[in-house]
Amino acid sequence: MIHNERLVRACRRQEVDRAPVWMMRQAGRYLAEYRDIRARIPFLELCKTPELAARVSLQPYEILGVDAVILFSDILIPAQAMGMDLTLSEKGPQLGDPVREMDRVKKLRIPDPSDSTPFVLDTIRILRGELHDEVPLIGFAGAPFTLATYMIEGGTSRNFAEVKRLMHREPKTMHALLAKIAEATIPYLNSQIEAGVHVIQLFDTWAGELSPGNYCEFALPYQQQVFQSLHRGPEGLGVPAILYVNECAAILEMMAESGANVLSIDWRINLDDARLRIGDKLALQGNLDPGALLGTVESISGQAEEMLRRGGDIGYVANLGHGILPMTPVENARAFVETVKKGIKEAA
Ligand code: CP3
């Protein structure tokens, strides 16, 4: 049993005394304690050094008192395990020899997680040991479409031109790539569950870039395949699954068909409107604009309170609508977490 069960209970739409709160990308450069460690070790090495990866995973819990810890890693780690050359510089992540044709897809490996990413599993085991079941541990992976964007573009993209070129000229190659990533993602997430994570989040960050029709063809079926194949245990008792898509307002109803228990949404749609559209079967997570944390403590509390009101009492996890920005002052992140923990007065 986990001592602070709020996150798992909210994901299952069970009653809680207040909304649980954590932040996407909560371990990272806005924390001086993270920057201290990063000054000594490159990012990818940090991901692959379990003692240090566990240390930075715990920082936001120790410093801000969030209600959950997320494994410190990156969605691109499995791309490297599939055989791609991954580097991270100031320009962001870079993947060598991008995947743009069938022969290149065929060369990608389906790795065994215990051989290719044992450090992820060791980090989870260390975290479970150090957490003493105080708060839940979240595991994650990139969804096939979002991972494919990095593998095709070779890095972060503004307009996804190479992705669109492949999708519309060679849809068979695109589907072969997506199927291969799904095939690798399933054992990767199952290995995390077996190692001890309590909740899974699938990041399909860039799927909101697709038209609804293209989302239906290139993103949704692979999300479904992943969620269906996870060893999550019995419904209502097992490991809940969260699906995150940035800029998701146009595709909410389709996301609700993914098999996730929780939809993690961005700030361009209000939580209560999202709730009306997807009904009461799923929980919601989100959705403060990370840019709002660049405001004042007062402006942050005000906006967080409005978010809580729209989120409601049942089936709601307080979070940001995307990852926290590196230039966020720590006291502002703290103001966000504290406002959620205080909750909203009934009379307000
Ligand atoms: O949430 C957490 O605290 C856990 C760790 C985590 C990281 N990346 C650490 C990281 C998680 C869950 C991710 C997910 C991730 N990575 C996503 C999906 C969520 C999102 O934000 O959209 C994506 C698209 C990536 C890919 C990625 N990794 C990019 C584009 C970058 C460079 C941009 C940046 O923020 O620097 C990374 C690097 C990265 N991943 C950092 C961290 C803490 C910064 C590395 C550093 O210390 O210099």
165-220 confidence digits (pLDDT tens): 999 999 999 999 999 999 999 999 999 999 999 999 999 999 999 999 999 999 99
Per-residue pLDDT, averaged over 264-291, amounts to 98
DSSP SS3 for 303: helix
Q: What residue owns the CA closest to ligand 1's atom 40?
A: 74
Residue 88: closest CA among 137, 36, 44? 44
pLDDT confidence of residue 92: 94
Residue 120 has pLDDT above 90, yes or no: yes
Q: Would you state the pLDDT for residue 236?
A: 78
CA nearest 201: which of 45, 333, 323? 323
Q: Say what the pTM is.
A: 0.97
Name the residue among 106, 111, 116, 229 with its Cα closest to residue 177. Answer: 106
Residues marked active site are found at: 25, 29, 38, 74, 150
Identify the residue whose tokens are 């070129």.
Answer: 165
Distance 186 CA to ligand 1 centre (A): 21
**Does the structure show a pLDDT above 80 at 78?**
yes
pLDDT of residue 202: 99
* β-bridge mates for residue 95, sequence order: 86
Our mutation pick for probing the ligand 1 site, out of 34, 58, 75, counting the most ligand atoms within 8 A of Cβ, is: 75
Q: Binning pLDDT at 50, 70 and 90, where does residue 123 land?
A: very high
**Amino acid occupying residue 306:** E
Look at phi and psi of residue 16 and say left if phi exceeds 0, alpha if psi is from -120 to 50, else beta.
Answer: beta
> Residue range 230-240: average pLDDT?
90
H-helix or E-strand containing 138?
A: strand 137-142
Q: Which numbered atom of ligand 1 lies nearest the CA of 38?
A: 47
Residue 283 CA to ligand 1 center (angstroms) comes to 24
Identity of the amino acid at 49:
T
Distance CA 251, CA 270 (A): 14
Give the number of the atom of ligand 1 that is nearest the alpha carbon of residue 244. 19
Q: Which residues pair with 203 in a beta bridge?
A: 142, 244
Place 346 in a pLDDT band, splitting at 50, 70 and 90.
low
- In a mutational test of the pocket of ligand 1, which residue from 25, 52, 244, 327 has the highest number of ligand atoms less than 8 Å from its CB? 25
Paired sense of beta strands 241-244 and 262-264, if any: parallel
Out of 3.10.20.30, 3.40.50.720, 3.40.50.2300, 3.20.20.210, the CATH code matching 6-347 is: 3.20.20.210
pLDDT score of 90: 87
224 contacts: CB under 8 Å, gap ≥ 6: 257, 258, 259
Q: Supply the residue whose CA is at minimum distance from atom 18 of ligand 1.
A: 203
Give the pLDDT of residue 235.
80
pLDDT, tens digit (0-9, with 9 covering 90-100), for 86-109: 999 888 999 999 999 999 999 999
Q: Is 181 left (phi over 0), alpha (psi -120 to 50) or beta?
A: alpha
CA of residue 14 to ligand 1 center, whole Å: 30
Question: So what's the pLDDT on residue 308?
Answer: 98
Question: Which residue's CA is the nearest one to ligand 1's atom 34?
Answer: 92
3-state secondary structure of 163: helix
| 145: helix, strand or coil | helix
Which sequence spans correspond to the domains of the chain? 6-347
Q: Give counts: helices (H), strands (E), the chain.
A: 17, 9
| Residue of the CA atom closest to atom 10 of ligand 1 | 74
Cβ < 6 A, ligand 1 pocket: 24-29, 38, 43, 70, 72-76, 88, 92-93, 140, 156, 203, 205, 322-323
